[in-house]
């Protein structure tokens, strides 16, 4: 004996005439509790409608393109008598639809022992300093794992750095909500944890508790398939040329804006082969990169740039391909953009840091008591901040239209840090207000975080000027590339003892080479020379930093 169950559209928070864009079941299908039946698309989001009970589909009442509202009948199901409808599942559907967000799977209840107090904690992505769509590149935990406070759960990679997401509490992982390749933003749910006074349940217990509710009772026997009232709906819409594609209206609109024929995308990466926006973007990238050797790329304002021809290097011997890290790929794009758009000039000079080094070494004892190490970079930070105050055009950015200069009233300086995954630039804020010891401590902390890939986006934003110090490696000079939208960058290489004429004789002096590249649209050569001479004077006699 069976009951006939009607699955209807729940409360839509006042919305109506929501379009059905995908029907995932047909008559005769045996479905599980919370299995998605149809996908609807409103003004702001797509919404999955899950089954409120397990059973067998008798009839599908909607088709792709239909408009539905609260109370509209979607499907009818048969289920065995005694199989209770999960009220909690219905509540989850209503809550998700009201919030105009895709329905998320509800965490399965965790079995608890008598007298045990459990809390379910959601770990979400924290403030990313305005960054969004950060890619998940590594998931380090699974459901059932017992984790500690601050243990890394996932690793994310943004435009400039990788970031670890630590656990905000100790406990047992109930559910992992992301996978490698997913894009997340501030507030995205990563995992749910169970904490409690008693010991955490075993992984097998969690897996058993996560089983569909329909498995708790005998599965309905699939009845002989009735004659369907309507044929099983497929998401297929004709496009130009008579070919059929599997995509939502928003993706079709996105493709039209880019001039992409969806019929050329043979297989989508979405559910049941549905074409997603990422598939369209990948298709465009593939078309753009598969250009003939004789073609040229046009860069606005820079004319036509001949493409570099592709070469099969394997014909000359053994080769190995290594994929660039995302940081290096994006850094390359940014540097190419700056190189093509900025008329850069590099000014070279050198500073006599003999007295500065004597003073720096005299601070060693005091610094060690504070657990610090004072380096020459700290003095360079103070000198640059002082020079920026004296020459405000260096502490500016050019407006996108190139008609206005945006002068900054703060003094934040970036320092280029070499990491295993590429170059990153953490920014020290309010350098003019901090002591040499404070800057040393902050530089050490940011350097460690940079090399471990733990810098937050906010720690790499807001710079006024950047320093690239290669003194610890070597070299006599180089041409640093401006870190746009900044207008200048200061480079330094290894100091060395040189004979310097003092007016009567040569004497050995410790000289540090300095190289400053600048945007010639904003800064003239004479201003660059004066700015550099100011920095040289401040480093030669650090007492001037106190004036």
Q: Is the pLDDT of residue 484 over 50?
A: yes
Q: Which long-range contacts (CB under 8 A, 24 or more apart) does 197-201 make?
A: 197/116, 197/117, 198/112, 198/113, 198/115, 198/116, 198/117, 198/118, 200/146, 200/171, 200/172, 201/110, 201/111, 201/112, 201/172
**Alpha-carbon gap, residue 46 to 275, rounded angstroms:** 14
Scored b (16 or more CB within 10 A) or e, 143-176 reads bbbbbeeeeebbbbbbbbbbbbbebeeebbbbbb
Angle CA(184)–CA(185)–CA(188) in degrees, nearest 5? 75
Lowest mean pLDDT among 214-218, 327-331, 377-381, 415-419: 214-218
**Alpha-carbon gap, residue 364 to 378, rounded angstroms:** 13
For 28-54, what is the mean pLDDT? 80
CB neighbourhood size of 393 (10 A):
16
Residue 348 bears catalytic tag: no
Confidence of residue 2 (pLDDT cuts 50, 70, 90): low
With contact defined as beta carbons under 8 Å apart, do 355 and 379 qualify? no
Lowest mean pLDDT among 119-133, 142-156, 265-279, 299-313: 299-313
Residue 39's alpha-carbon distances to 20, 45, 46, in angstroms, are: 6, 10, 7
* Omega prior to 485 cis, within 30 of 0: yes
Lowest mean pLDDT among 54-68, 151-165, 440-454, 518-532: 151-165
Residue 530's alpha-carbon distances to 207, 390, 392, in angstroms, are: 70, 10, 13
- Give the residue ranges of DSSP H helices in 308-412: 326-341, 354-362, 364-369, 376-390
With contact defined as beta carbons under 8 Å apart, do 183 and 474 qualify? no
Secondary structure (H, E, C), 164-177: EEECCCCEEEEEEC
pLDDT digits (tens, 9 = 90+) for 293-312: 334 444 444 455 777 888 88
With contact defined as beta carbons under 8 Å apart, do 203 and 194 qualify? no
pLDDT for position 437: 96
Helix (H, G, I), strand (E, B) or coil at 355: helix
pTM over 0.95: no
| Dihedral of alpha carbons 333, 338, 341, 347, sign | negative
Domains of the chain: 2-98 (2.40.50.100), 118-210 (2.40.50.100), 237-290 (4.10.320.10), 330-546 (3.30.559.10)
With contact defined as beta carbons under 8 Å apart, do 412 and 423 qualify? no
Confidence of residue 291 (pLDDT cuts 50, 70, 90): very low
Q: Which long-range contacts (CB under 8 A, 24 or more apart) does 285-288 make?
A: none
Angle CA(343)–CA(347)–CA(348) in degrees, nearest 5? 150
For 497-505, what is the mean pLDDT? 94
**Alpha-carbon gap, residue 534 to 127, rounded angstroms:** 39
Structure tokens that stand for 115 in this block: 């007298």
With contact defined as beta carbons under 8 Å apart, do 488 and 394 qualify? yes
Catalytic residue among 283, 347, 348, 520: 520
DSSP string across 385-449 = HHHHHH-GGGSEEE-TTSS-EEE-SS--EEE-EEETTEEE--EES-GGGS-HHHHHHHHHHHHHH
First vs last C-alpha separation in the chain: 94
DSSP string across 84-141 = ---HHHHHHHHHHHHTTSPPPPPPPPPP--TT--EEEEEEE----TT--SEEEEEE--
Confidence of residue 207 (pLDDT cuts 50, 70, 90): very low
Confidence of residue 289 (pLDDT cuts 50, 70, 90): low
Q: Is the pLDDT of residue 240 over 60?
A: no
With contact defined as beta carbons under 8 Å apart, do 59 and 106 qualify? no
Structure tokens that stand for 433 in this block: 């207000």
pLDDT for position 129: 67
pLDDT digits (tens, 9 = 90+) for 171-201: 899 999 999 889 898 889 999 988 864 434 4
CB neighbourhood size of 274 (10 A):
19
pLDDT for position 21: 83
When computed from its CA atoms, the radius of gyration of the chain, rounded to whole angstroms, is 31
Angle CA(430)–CA(435)–CA(438) in degrees, nearest 5? 85
pLDDT for position 44: 57
Confidence of residue 161 (pLDDT cuts 50, 70, 90): low
Q: What share of the chain is helix, strand, coil (3-state, %, to 5)?
A: 30, 30, 45
Highest mean pLDDT out of 102-116, 277-291, 521-535: 521-535
With contact defined as beta carbons under 8 Å apart, do 299 and 291 qualify? no
Residue 445's alpha-carbon distances to 436, 450, 455, in angstroms, are: 14, 9, 10
Confidence of residue 105 (pLDDT cuts 50, 70, 90): very low
Lowest mean pLDDT among 113-117, 118-122, 448-452, 456-460: 113-117
With a CB cutoff of 8 Å and minimum separation 6, the contacts of 427 are 412, 413, 414, 415, 459, 460, 461, 462, 463
Paired with 22 in beta bridges are 39
H helices, E strands: number in the chain: 10, 31
Q: Is the pLDDT of residue 224 over 80?
A: no
**Max Cα separation, the chain?**
113
The closest of 225, 193, 223 to 2, measured between CA atoms, is 223
């Amino acid at each position: 004996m069976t009951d006939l169950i009607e699955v209807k559209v729940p409360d839509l928070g006042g919305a109506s005439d929501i379009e059905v864009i995908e029907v995932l079941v047909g008559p005769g299908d045996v479905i599980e509790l919370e299995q998605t039946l149809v996908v609807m698309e409103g003004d702001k989001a797509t919404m999955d409608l899950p089954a409120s009970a397990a059973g067998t589909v008798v009839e599908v009442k909607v088709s792709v393109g239909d408009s539905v509202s609260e109370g509209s009948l979607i499907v009818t199901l048969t289920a065995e008598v005694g199989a209770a409808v999960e009220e909690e599942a219905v509540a989850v559907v209503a809550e998700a639809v009201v919030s105009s967000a895709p329905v998320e799977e509800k965490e399965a209840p965790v079995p608890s022992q008598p007298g045990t107090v459990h809390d379910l904690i959601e770990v979400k992505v924290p403030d990313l300093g305005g960054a969004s769509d950060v890619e998940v590149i590594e998931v380090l935990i699974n459901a059932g794992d017992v984790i500690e406070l601050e243990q890394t759960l996932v690793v994310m990679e943004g435009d400039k750095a990788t970031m670890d997401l630590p656990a905000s509490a100790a406990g047992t992982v109930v559910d992992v909500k992301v996978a490698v390749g997913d894009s997340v933003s501030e507030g995205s749910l990563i995992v749910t944890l169970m904490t409690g006074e008693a010991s955490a349940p075993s992984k097998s217990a969690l897996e058993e508790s996560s089983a569909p509710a329909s498995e708790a009772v005998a599965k309905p026997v699939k009845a002989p398939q009735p004659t369907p009232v309507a044929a099983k709906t497929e998401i297929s819409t004709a496009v130009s040329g008579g070919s059929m594609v599997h995509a939502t209206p928003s993706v079709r609109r996105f493709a039209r804006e880019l001039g992409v024929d969806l019929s050329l995308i043979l297989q989508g990466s979405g559910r049941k082969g549905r074409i997603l926006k990422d598939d369209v973007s990948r298709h465009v990238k593939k078309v753009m990169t598969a250009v003939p050797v004789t073609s040229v790329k046009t860069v606005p304002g820079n004319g036509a740039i001949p493409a570099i021809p592709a070469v099969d290097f394997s014909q000359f011997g053994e080769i190995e391909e290594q994929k660039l890290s995302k940081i290096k790929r994006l850094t390359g794009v940014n540097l190419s953009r700056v190189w093509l758009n900025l008329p850069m000039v590099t000014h070279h000079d050198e500073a006599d840091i003999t007295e500065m080094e004597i003073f720096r070494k005299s601070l060693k004892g005091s610094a060690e008591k504070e657990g610090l190490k004072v380096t020459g970079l700290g003095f360079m930070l103070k000198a640059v901040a002082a020079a920026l105050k004296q020459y405000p055009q260096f502490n500016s950015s050019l407006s996108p239209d190139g008609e206005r200069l945006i002068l900054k009233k703060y003094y934040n300086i970036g320092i280029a840090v070499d990491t295993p995954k590429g170059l990153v630039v953490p920014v020290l804020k309010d350098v003019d207000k901090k002591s040499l010891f404070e800057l040393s401590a902050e530089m050490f902390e940011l350097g460690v975080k940079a090399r471990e890939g733990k810098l937050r986006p906010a720690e790499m934003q807001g710079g006024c000027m950047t320093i690239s110090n290669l003194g610890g490696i070597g070299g006599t000079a180089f041409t640093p590339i401006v870190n746009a939208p900044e207008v200048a960058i200061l480079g330094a290489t290894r100091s060395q003892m040189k004979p310097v004429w003092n007016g009567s004789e040569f004497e050995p002096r410790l000289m540090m080479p300095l190289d400053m590249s600048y945007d010639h649209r904003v800064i003239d050569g004479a201003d660059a020379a004066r700015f550099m001479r100011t920095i040289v004077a401040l480093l030669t006699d650090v007492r001037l930093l106190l004036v």
